[in-house]
């Protein structure tokens, strides 16, 4: 059964396309009768770059929220043809309508709920096709060219299709500025590693309150970088890569560590500037702690898990596979079997034989 479902999803590309030859509905001010015309209105409200074929996605202005709200209201219009035309228009708009439609599918009238669910089902396959293509593209790259932040954006879009690049880049840029401010005029990349990591600890874990989500650990939101940045809670691997991503912006040599059970991060001491100590500095982001290598080794030894390999940087591809493995498990945990199957497909695209440790 699982294989049948995988093959069904794998075969459904369903990418929505907008063509200028489609007709739309406009209403007369004097009556409820509709009339069709060339899509002048869509020049304003449907200037959205949707994905088609194997081409890359293009950024485009989103339609006005008022236009989306009007189309949703018209899903229960007295005229059947109007309801049908509005449904087609919403499908053509694609991803920008997903958020409003999810609300309508829960809170609208019976007719709006029914049509909103039908539209979401159609758009679901378009989103799946887009993600399949993007993960396939990433899978073709060597690890040195693998963009972790881009992969985390895609994973965030699995959880919430409305997430944009700015939802990740904006907060991470701001965190980097705040950490640098704590270090004063000395650029982080030239500063004493011990002071740098203390600035990270104070800013991210003390001031901002980033922490592990112990209360609702097995929720898919904990695997979304966008959600983690918004709520300041998440899984160890996502919190660690908040630290890694901020470090990249400051040109500080921080990498992820694929520690079994609790993923961590470290400052690579071998790349410390000048004559500063060359010792690694470990970050347990889930608990908001900074550790020496000795403290790290002692903790893992007490748990019976210490292995020298735990101090090696986690390959980027394997890191993303581990993130996807967590997400698929947590989709199962909340009963979303369909999404869990799709997430496993993306994981399979990256490495069919990957054996990863979760969390």
- What's the pLDDT tens digit per position in 6-43? 233 333 333 333 333 333 333 333 333 333 333 333 33
pTM above 0.85, yes or no: no
In this predicted structure, the answer to whether residue 291 has a pLDDT above a threshold of 90 is yes
pLDDT band for position 95 (50/70/90)?
A: confident
- Identify the pLDDT of residue 3: 36
Count other C-beta atoms under 10 Å from residue 212's C-beta: 20
- Identify the pLDDT of residue 6: 29
pLDDT band for position 62 (50/70/90)?
A: low
In this predicted structure, the answer to whether residue 94 has a pLDDT above a threshold of 70 is yes
Q: What is the pLDDT of residues 178-211, one digit of tens each?
A: 999 999 999 999 999 999 999 999 999 999 999 9
pLDDT band for position 348 (50/70/90)?
A: very high
Higher per-residue pLDDT: 108 or 284: 284
pLDDT band for position 129 (50/70/90)?
A: confident
- Give percent of the chain with pLDDT exceeding 70: 79
pLDDT band for position 55 (50/70/90)?
A: very low
- Identify the pLDDT of residue 176: 98
In this predicted structure, the answer to whether residue 58 has a pLDDT above a threshold of 90 is no
- Average pLDDT score, the chain: 81
In this predicted structure, the answer to whether residue 52 has a pLDDT above a threshold of 80 is no
pLDDT band for position 120 (50/70/90)?
A: confident
Out of 45-54, 73-82, 96-105, 167-176, which region has the weakest mean confidence (pLDDT)? 45-54
Tokens found for residue 168 = 């990740």
Higher per-residue pLDDT: 56 or 256: 256
Higher per-residue pLDDT: 6 or 86: 86
In this predicted structure, the answer to whether residue 66 has a pLDDT above a threshold of 90 is no
């Amino acid at each position: 059964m699982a294989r049948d479902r995988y093959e069904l999803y794998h075969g459904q590309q369903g990418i929505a396309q907008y063509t200028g030859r489609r007709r739309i509905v406009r209403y007369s001010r004097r009556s409820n009768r509709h009339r069709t015309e060339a899509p002048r209105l869509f020049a304003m409200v449907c200037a959205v770059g949707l994905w088609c074929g194997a081409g890359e996605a293009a950024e485009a202005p989103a339609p006005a929220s008022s236009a989306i709200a009007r189309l949703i209201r018209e899903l229960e219009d007295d005229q059947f043809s109007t309801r049908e035309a509005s449904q087609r228009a919403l499908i053509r708009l694609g991803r920008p309508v997903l958020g409003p439609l999810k609300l309508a599918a829960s809170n609208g009238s019976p007719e709006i709920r029914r049509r909103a669910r039908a539209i979401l089902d159609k758009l679901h396959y378009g989103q799946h096709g887009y993600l399949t293509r993007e993960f396939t593209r990433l899978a073709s790259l060597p690890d040195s060219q693998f963009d972790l932040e881009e992969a985390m954006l895609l994973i965030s879009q699995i959880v919430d299709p409305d997430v944009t690049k700015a939802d990740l880049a904006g907060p991470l840029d701001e965190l980097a500025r705040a950490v640098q401010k704590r270090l004063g005029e000395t650029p982080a990349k030239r500063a004493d590693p011990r002071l740098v990591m203390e600035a990270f600890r104070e800013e991210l874990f003390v001031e901002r309150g980033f922490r592990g989500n112990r209360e609702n650990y097995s929720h898919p939101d904990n695997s979304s970088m966008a959600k983690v940045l918004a709520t300041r809670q998440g899984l160890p691997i996502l919190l660690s890569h908040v630290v890694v991503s901020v470090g990249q912006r400051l040109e500080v040599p921080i990498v992820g560590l694929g520690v079994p059970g609790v993923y961590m991060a470290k400052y690579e001491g071998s790349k410390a500037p000048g004559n500063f100590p060359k010792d690694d500095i470990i970050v347990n982001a889930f608990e908001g702690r900074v550790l020496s290598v000795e403290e790290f080794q002692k903790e893992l030894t007490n748990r019976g898990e210490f292995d020298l390999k735990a101090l090696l940087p986690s390959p980027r591809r394997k890191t993303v596979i581990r993130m996807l493995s967590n997400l698929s498990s947590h989709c199962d945990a909340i009963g979303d079997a369909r999404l869990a199957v799709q997430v496993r497909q993306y994981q399979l695209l990256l490495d069919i034989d990957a054996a990863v440790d979760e969390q």
